Amino acid sequence: MRLSVLFLMIFGLGALPARAQSDGWKELFNGKDLTGWEHVGPGGFTVEDGLAKPHGGMGLLWWTGEKVGDSVIRVVFKTEKKDSNSGFFIRVPDRPTEPWMPVYRGYEVQIDNVGDDYHCTGDLYSLTKALARPQKPAGEWNTMEITLEGLHTIVTVNGVKVTDYTEGQTVPPRKDKAEPKRGPRPNEGYIGLQNHSDHDIVYFKEVAVKPLRH
């Protein structure tokens, strides 16, 4: 084997997106195409250099395989700009046929580094106040982990807890038509990635799920 090829095999792999492979993790995005995913609403997602990139929203890319509950969901993302806006949807009760139903009836785990503490990365959009704001600057990778355990939702960003919410806790009143409707969500639901707009580019390189052991 030529030395240059060996060097690429050993050191070049570090440039590839890391993907969950073991320890109970199931990788939902394969880095090659959007097998298992379906887009609803305007625009879509493309896969470029192993990354899922949105365009032309407002839309939603949702996982068609099954509802998710009692699991940890890992989402690895980076923003194109400081104010890039997106979100990860959880506890969506029914199969989405358009992008607004999940906004109103699920929970959006927000991705937005410039919103206030009720509309920023890692909180449940407009429902919970962020405990911390650990998102990295634009262009750097962030790891978000969302733990769903019954009525309990915990969100960490880069290892720092941002949300700790249990169904029934007091939340602020709904102030805008773009905010979710108040009320309980199911223990299990569909999940998906928001495609906000061409101004709001967020790249995703990993979406993985690991069931909790009881």
Give the long-range contacts of residues 25-28, CB within 8 A, separation 24 or more: 25/74, 25/208, 25/209, 25/210, 26/208, 26/209, 26/210, 27/206, 27/207, 27/208, 28/63, 28/65, 28/207, 28/208, 28/209
3-53 confidence digits (pLDDT tens): 343 333 333 433 444 455 568 999 999 999 999 999 999 999 999 999 999
pLDDT in tens, 50-100: 999 999 989 999 999 999 999 999 999 999 999 999 999 999 999 999 999
Count other C-beta atoms under 10 Å from residue 155's C-beta. Answer: 28
- Do 40 and 60 touch, CB atoms closer than 8 A? yes
pLDDT band at 214 (very low <50, low <70, confident <90, very high): low
Per-residue pLDDT, 57: 85
Q: Quote the DSSP letter at residue 149.
A: E
- Asked if residue 96 lies in contact with residue 192, where contact means CB atoms within 8 angstroms, the answer is yes
Tokens of 167: 């169904």
Q: Place 117 in a pLDDT band, splitting at 50, 70 and 90.
A: very high
d(CA 21, CA 105): 32
Instruction: Express each pLDDT in 160-210 by its tens digit.
Output: 999 999 999 999 999 999 999 999 999 999 999 999 988 889 999 999 999
Confidence of residue 151 (pLDDT cuts 50, 70, 90): very high
Q: What is the mean pLDDT of the chain?
A: 91
Return the structure tokens found at 178.
Answer: 């773009």
Q: Please give the Cα distance from 96 to 6 (Å, whole number).
A: 46
CATH assignment of 20-211, given 2.140.10.10, 3.40.190.10, 2.60.120.560, 1.10.3720.10? Answer: 2.60.120.560
pLDDT of residue 33: 97
Residue 111's pLDDT is 98
